[in-house]
Every structure is written in C-alpha cells, then in structure tokens.
Amino acid sequence: MRKVILIILVLVLASRTFAQKDSTTQNVNYSRLGIVGATTLAAFIYGYGVQNTMWWKGTKSFFHFNWSQDWTYAMGSDKYGHFYFAHVVSNVYSQLFEWCGFSHLNSLRYGALFAFGYQTFIEVRDGFSRDYGFSWGDFTANTLGASIPLLKERFKFLRDFKFKISYYPSERFRHNSNRHILDDYESTYDWISYPLYKILPDKLSGFVPRFLNISLGHSVKKLDLPNERTHEFFIALDWNLEELPGNFWLLKLLKKNLNFYHLPAPAIKIYPDVIWYGLKF
C-alpha cells in the first residue's frame, strides 16, 4: 500500500513540475473545464455503481494483495484489458483537457494522471474485496496504458502502433455465462495494429493504401474447462481510420476515437489451428 501511495505522490509532483514548464501556452476555459468535471463526476458515480454490482458485492476484507490469481485469472488476458482501458481514458481526457484550453503537453500529462489515478482507485478498491485483492500485474498494465500517449509524444516510432479491441459474443456468453460482455474474456479480442506499407519492401509499399494496417490479435477460449483452456492468435487486416480523407474537426474527432476499435476485417487464425475469415469481428 505504501508503494502505491508513493508512486501516486511522485506522479502528482512530476505533473506539477511539467505543468510549470509549459504553463505559458495555456488559456484555460473554466466553463468547459466545469462541464468536463461535472460530467466526469456523474460518470464516476454511475460507473462505480455498475462495478459494485459486477465485482464488489462479495465479502469485504482487510486490504490485501492478490498473488495467487494474478496471472492465472483469464489466462492473463485481463492485463491487456487494463492496459487498453487506461490507454483510452488517457487519450480521451487528453483531448478534453486540450479542448478546455490546456497546452498540448499538459493535456497529455493530465490525461495520463487522471487515467492512472482512476485505475489505481479501482485497484485499491479491489484490495478490500475478499474475492480479488490488489494486483501488481493490473497496476503495471494500468500505468503503462495511461502513459502511452506521453510515450508516443516522446518516442516517434511508437506513434504508428494502434492498440485496439473488439467484441464478438462467445458461446459462453450466449449461454448466459456472463451478464456483461465486457467481463467475458472469451468474447474479447485484443489487437495491436501497424501500418502495412511500412513493413513491405519499397517497391510494394507505394501500392498499399495508407489506411490499411496489419494487426496481431489475441483471445482466450474454454476458460471454464481447466484442462482445455487455450489462447488464440490471429493475423488480420485493420483499418486506420485516421488516414482516411477529411479534415473537418468533427470528422477528425470521430476518426481518432473510432480508431480505438478494431472494425471487421479479413483475418487468419494461426493458433491453435488455422482458420480463414472473410471478416473477423
């Protein structure tokens, strides 16, 4: 618990230091900031209620760490979910802070800090649940996901990587194994996408549209059968919506945020068996 508090304090102090260096480029609109704050508070209250129903209705306990199930639960596939959610929240709030008038760099920093803080709150709350406990694996994934927008600003080669997710109802979900599809890892597909033209020889790259990416996908199956549970891996095409034409601000906003989702595309399952898909959802 002390480590968690120490990390939070370090991030808060660091963000204040960075903000001072970049404060001259800001012209904060406090009306917009108030709208973002009020909406966030309402969303937090609603989200907490949903999570309390889904996960925290069990017996409470003293704060404890979850060592035994950290990488066995969902075969570790929940770690990408933690990474992805923190990554999206960090991105979205960076955009909102910039809309409120904060500088670009400070918006990235505040977005990362907000995503980190929210996800850390969830982990600490898990620590008081007998059925879960604080997970260092989840905490690490949360921290990395929240940091991605900042890392992309610093390291240009990271900007071409797109982290996405998609859902398609699994057999377990269709048989009411899970009440919420977001909590069913067999219905969840994780994707890391990269521009196709950048991995082809120069003679071929010019023929490939810039909006066409190649992606590596992952899911898990048969989680309720301990001796048969397995990973699945895919190679698929992916659509980089931000490379589509159109510079109108609303269109650019839609393209950027829809780009967090992997839309249906041709794919091949490469493990544990080989299956071709005309469209993989």
Per-residue pLDDT reduced to its tens digit, 180-208: 788 899 999 999 999 999 999 989 999 99
pLDDT at 45 over 90: yes
Average pLDDT of the chain to the nearest whole number: 89
d(CA 192, CA 164): 6
pLDDT at 66: 87
Q: What is the DSSP string of 31-92?
A: HHHHHHHHHHHHHHHHHHHHHHHHTS-S-B-S--B--SSTTTGGGGTHHHHHHHHHHHHHHH
Cβ distance 98 to 104 under 8 Å?
yes
d(CA 164, CA 262): 6
pLDDT at 220 over 70: yes
pLDDT at 14: 43
Q: pLDDT, tens digit, for every residue of 137-165?
A: 999 999 999 999 999 999 999 999 999 99
> Would you mind telling me the total number of residues written for the chain in this entry?
281
pLDDT at 25: 60
Q: pLDDT, tens digit, for every residue of 229-270?
A: 999 999 999 999 999 999 899 999 999 999 999 999 999 999
pLDDT at 22: 54
d(CA 193, CA 203): 22
Helices 104-127 and 136-154, axial angle in degrees (round to 10): 180
pLDDT at 179: 72
Cα 267-272-273 angle, rounded to 5 deg: 60
Band (pLDDT 50/70/90 cuts) for residue 11 is: very low
222: left (phi over 0), alpha (psi -120 to 50) or beta: left
Band (pLDDT 50/70/90 cuts) for residue 51 is: confident
Bridging pattern class, strands 212-221 and 265-271: unpaired
- Whose structure tokens read 């398609």? 168
Q: Which residue has the higher pLDDT, 62 or 239?
A: 239
Burial label for 180, CB within 10 Å (0-12, 13-18, 19+), is: exposed
Q: Which residue has the higher pLDDT, 144 or 20?
A: 144
pLDDT at 57 over 70: yes
Whether a cis peptide bond, with omega within 30° of 0, leads into 264 is no
Which tokens sit at 124?
A: 């600490």
Cα 235-240-245 angle, rounded to 5 deg: 150
Q: Which amino acid is at 149?
A: P
* Domain range annotation of the chain: 1-157, 161-281
Which tokens sit at 182?
A: 């977001």
